[in-house]
């Protein structure tokens, strides 16, 4: 997991460099070629520099081990970085929309054809980054890296929107002059939608929303494989950054000694952590298996 996290950090760092280069390219060419859509897409790439930087530092902090002040680890820093990414995306989208509307009321200057090339370059680079971040984000369980991957995916769509607006304008600059500005505005709307989605997902995590039922079934299944683990009364889980923390109410034979019950609970904890790499730790509360269920023969 540490090696995977280090690789994910490298991907985030490379993304910073690529986004910075794309931002400079698109804004410079967009201004010289008089294209609102290309400049808007360049502003979006400039925000990517900041968001990828936040993801990089979020992953760095999340990798720090638990300490006295943070007994559950530092995973929440990764979640907070994802929330900050979503907020920045919303603000950037609003800025792009405002810039596009402002340009619509300025004297029109026909864009140059060479303005399309930065958009093609951007789509190629972002497709590679999207694939890398999505792959490592899923393996690591990183909300911040997945949010940044979604951002790259939307970058490809926004580049297509910008390309469509610019292309229509280039067909007949006098007749379709507004489409370049419309393309720029469309880029802003896409960025806002993405930002709102990221904010929603991270807020759900910060409010300790339970994982999907399949994950809970995995936990119960592993726990009940341990000899002496008779039933699971309750199973809760919450994600704290890169991994989940589990609270388990384990039922055992009420006639067992405290020591024997403790050994069963310890083995359940070890098995879950060994078999489910997305679980950081398990807190187990041992309870007596009810006599009426024992007499009825209801085991697991």
Residues 122 and 259 in one domain: no
Residues 64 and 161 in one domain: yes
Residues 197 and 230 in one domain: no
Residues 116 and 237 in one domain: no
More confident residue, 206 or 22: 22
CATH, residue 222? 3.30.70.1350
| Residues contacting residue 238 through CB under 8 Å, at least 6 positions apart | 208, 209, 210, 244, 245
Residues 130 and 243 in one domain: no
Which of these three, 160, 184, 206, is where a domain ends?
206
Residues 220 and 201 in one domain: no
Q: What's the mean pLDDT when you consider all of the chain?
A: 81
Report the share of the chain in percent with pLDDT over 70. Answer: 92
Q: Mean pLDDT across the stretch 27-40?
A: 84
Residues 14 and 162 in one domain: yes
Which of these three, 173, 206, 239, is where a domain ends?
206
Statement: residue 193 has pLDDT above 70? yes
- Tell me which residue has tokens 């926004």: 158
Residues 87 and 228 in one domain: no
CATH, residue 80? 1.20.1510.10
Domain that holds residue 264: 213-296
Cα 54 from Cα 64, distance rounded (Å) = 16
Residues 224 and 197 in one domain: no
Q: Which of 50-59, 88-97, 216-225, 263-272 has the lowest mean pLDDT?
A: 50-59
- Total number of domains constituting the chain: 2
Q: Is the four-CA dihedral 80, 149, 135, 26 of positive or negative sign? A: negative
CA atoms within 13 A on the CB side of 100: 30
Residues 221 and 173 in one domain: no
More confident residue, 61 or 125: 125
Which of these three, 206, 237, 260, is where a domain ends?
206
Q: How many Å separate Cα 226 from the centre of its chain? A: 34
Residues 177 and 50 in one domain: yes
Residues 244 and 101 in one domain: no
For residue 293, what pLDDT band results from cuts at 50, 70 and 90? low
pTM of the predicted structure, to 2 decimals: 0.64
Let me know: does 152 contact 130? Beta carbons within 8 Å: yes
């Amino acid at each position: 997991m540490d090696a995977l996290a280090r690789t994910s950090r490298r991907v985030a760092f490379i993304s910073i460099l690529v986004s910075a280069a794309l931002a400079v390219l698109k804004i410079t060419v967009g201004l010289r070629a008089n294209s609102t859509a290309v400049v808007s897409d360049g502003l979006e790439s400039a925000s990517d520099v900041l968001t990828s930087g936040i993801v990089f530092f979020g992953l760095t902090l999340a990798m720090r081990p638990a300490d006295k002040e943070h007994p559950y680890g530092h995973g929440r820093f990764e979640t907070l970085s994802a929330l900050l990414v979503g907020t920045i995306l919303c603000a950037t989208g609003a800025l792009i929309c405002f810039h596009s509307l402002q340009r619509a009321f300025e004297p029109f200057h026909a864009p140059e054809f060479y303005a399309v090339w930065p958009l093609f370059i951007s789509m190629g680079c972002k497709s590679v980054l999207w694939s890398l971040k999505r792959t490592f984000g899923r393996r690591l369980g990183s909300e911040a890296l997945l949010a940044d991957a979604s951002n790259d995916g939307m970058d490809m769509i926004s580049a297509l929107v910008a390309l469509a607006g610019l292309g229509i304008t280039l067909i007949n600059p006098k007749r379709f002059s507004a489409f370049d500005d419309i393309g720029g505005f469309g880029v802003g709307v896409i960025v806002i939608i993405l930002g709102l989605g990221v904010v929603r997902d991270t807020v759900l995590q910060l409010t300790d929303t339970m994982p999907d039922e399949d994950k809970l079934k995995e936990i119960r299944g592993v726990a009940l494989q341990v000899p002496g683990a008779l039933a699971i009364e309750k199973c809760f889980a919450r994600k704290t950054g890169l991994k989940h923390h589990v609270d388990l109410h384990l039922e055992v034979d009420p006639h067992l000694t405290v020591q024997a019950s403790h050994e069963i609970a310890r083995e359940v904890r070890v098995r879950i952590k060994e078999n489910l790499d997305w679980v950081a730790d398990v807190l187990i509360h041992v309870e007596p298996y009810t006599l009426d269920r024992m007499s009825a023969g209801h085991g697991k």
